[in-house]
Each structure stands twice: as C-alpha cells, then as structure tokens.
Amino acid sequence: MHDESASQAALPLELPDPPLHIVVGDANRMATRILLEDASFPASVVILHGEEGSGKTLLAQLWAQRVQANMLDMMPRKGGYYLLDGLELHDRDSEEAMFHAINRIKGAEAYLLITMRDHPSYVPYILPDLASRMRAAYPIGLTQPDDAMLRTLFLKRLYDKQLRVDEDVVDYCLARMPRSFAALHRVIEQLDATAWQSQRKITKPLVRTLLND
C-alpha cells in the first residue's frame, strides 16, 4: 500500500484511455455488471479480488472513469468515490493506515473500491480491527476463465503484442496450458520474449518447449 495516498489532498486519478471493449465472460460477468452497469454502488467499501492478470485494474479504471473517482486522501468528500488499486499490507504501519482510511471513508459517507489479489477473509491480518473492517466489506471475486473467454483473451493478447501465430498453434497452446489468467499472462510473455530474441516463427515445437519448461 502506498501510504502517501492517505496524506494528500484529493487528486483526480490519471488513467489511460479506456479500451474499446472489455472481454466479458463468466469469470467477470458479475463484477462488470456491479461496477460498470448498476446504478448504485453496493457498499461503502467494495473489494475486487482476483489473481494476477484477471483484469482487476482494468475494471477498476473503467469504474473510476465512470464515477469520476479520486485517489484516496485525508478528507474524503461526502458521497465521493475513491479507488485504491493493488492493496498490499506489509506490516502494522500499512494496516493502521488502511484502517484509518476506511474509517475516513465511512465517516464521510463516501465510497471506496479496493483491488487486491486475495479474498479479504483469507488475508492474515495483524490488527483485529482492520480484519473486522476488511471482512465486513463487499467482496467481488474474479474467477477462472472458461474456455471461450480464455481463447478470446489469448487472441487479444497476441494482437496487443503484435504476435502472428497460426490458428492451429493457438489451438495447440490452449489445449495444453493451465486454465488460469496467471498462466495465460505467463505464456504470452514467454512467447513474446522468445519471438523477439530468436526472430523465429512461433511453432508447435516451440510452444511445446515453453510449456514443458
């Protein structure tokens, strides 16, 4: 957690331009509806959790643009929206800072979206008071992708990296890689690095070697 966000005046978030679309599947359908479609925020503190590569930051950024959210600050304005992306609790000091930040949000009747990897109930907190606050928050989980979503994301990441891969090689890779966002992210990064270093076409033997490492 970046403690400086709790000591600055309200600052608008500097966010990248949103993508033309977000890939929606069973893994993120509920989160997309709550954050990007519903008319009201479900609670004063909402925690969006999911593994690396699951799209937490993208969803949070789109939500922040939708509601004009600000960085977390010392004195949240009444009814304001705030975002804390990528919460990490390292020690007692970071937990105390988070505890007081949540209290300020509640005191101002404001709204806070937190993104983090783990479900808030599974985090080994040091401070019982923070544990109580975090476990009372509204959790939204991003689950593992189904086959259709995994394929769509795989093709999108290949396009983003400007990697040209034959369809039969894509099918071969998808049939053999683990079914998770983290695995998808790792495989794409490996393909990109290998293609750049070797200047070779991505083939089935190359994919087999990468997946067996």
Interatomic CA distance for residues 7 and 15, integer angstroms: 20
Asked if residue 119 has pLDDT above 80, the reply is yes
Look at the domain 3-141 and name its fold.
Rossmann fold (3.40.50)
Contact 73, 9 (CB under 8 A): yes
Interatomic CA distance for residues 32 and 135, integer angstroms: 22
Residue 2: pLDDT band (50, 70, 90) is: very low
Strand (E) or helix (H) holding 47:
strand 45-49
User: Which residue is it, tokens 């939708």?
Assistant: 66
Mean pLDDT rounded to a whole number for the chain: 88
- CATH number for the region 147-212 comes to 1.10.8
Where in the chain is CATH 3.40.50.300?
A: 3-141
Where in the chain is CATH 1.10.8?
A: 147-212
> 10 Å Cβ neighbour count for 78?
8
If one compares 13 and 118, the residue with the highest pLDDT of the two is: 118
- Provide the total of helices (H) and of strands (E) in the chain, helices listed first: 8, 5
Each residue's pLDDT tens digit, 14-71: 544 545 468 999 999 999 999 999 999 999 999 999 998 899 999 999 999 999 999 8
> 10 Å Cβ neighbour count for 212?
7
Q: Is 8 helix (H, G, I), strand (E, B) or coil?
A: coil
